[in-house]
Structure formats: C-alpha cells, structure tokens
Amino acid sequence: GEDVEQSLFLSVREGDSSVINCTYTDSSSTYLYWYKQEPGAGLQLLTYIFSNMDMKQDQRLTVLLNKKDKHLSLRIADTQTGDSAIYFCAAGGYQKVTFGTGTKLQVIP
C-alpha cells in the first residue's frame, strides 16, 4: 500500500518562511494534498496539486511536486502565529487517500 512520510516537527519565527516536506511511495497517486488540523478540530484542505503539475501557488502557499523523487513540499511565506497547526500531506487515487504522519508547525512570535 501507499506510504506517506513527513518530519514530525518544525519550528519557525513569525515572518519567516516555513517549508514542510513529504515523500510518498505510490507513483500512481492522482492528487496530492495538504491538509491543516488546528487543535481540537478536524482536518481542512489547504491546497492540492494534480500529479501532472510541478508547482502550484496560492497566495502565501507554494506547493512543489517532484514526481521522479516522489517528493512534495509546502512552503508558507511570511508565516504567522495563526499558521501554528499540524499539516498533513496526503496522496490520493480513486476512492482512497492515504495521509502522512503530520508535521506540527510551531510559530514563535
């Protein structure tokens, strides 16, 4: 089955950029997603990228996909304290989405 790996923790200063990395194993994944989970809440979709794209930009968020290395990254520009949360990478095909281990982002004021 699909395996999705992320580093568990990232700490950045407010105003800096954050980069969260993810690797996956199933090259047939059609979509790759980034979800955000705030304390005590469910996950919410932050952004996604289709597998035939290399990059997607959405305001402060930039997603980079390297299909050859099966590597996905999420860059958050000008990180704010409100960005503190757990970020999950996920890889999906038809009818199944596998989530990564989650990266806890801590933003230091």
Task: Indicate whether 38 belongs to the interface with other proteins (CB under 8 A).
Answer: no
b/e string for 81-93 if b means 16 or more Cβ within 10 A?
eebbbbbbbbbbe
- Whole-number minimum distance, CB 35 to other proteins, in Å? 8
Task: Indicate whether 31 belongs to the interface with other proteins (CB under 8 A).
Answer: yes
Task: Indicate whether 33 belongs to the interface with other proteins (CB under 8 A).
Answer: yes
Q: How far apart are CA 9 and CA 86, in angstroms?
A: 9
- Whole-number minimum distance, CB 15 to other proteins, in Å? 26
Selected range binding other proteins among 12-20, 42-50, 57-65, 70-78, rule: CB under 8 A: 42-50
12 touches 83 (CB < 8 A): no
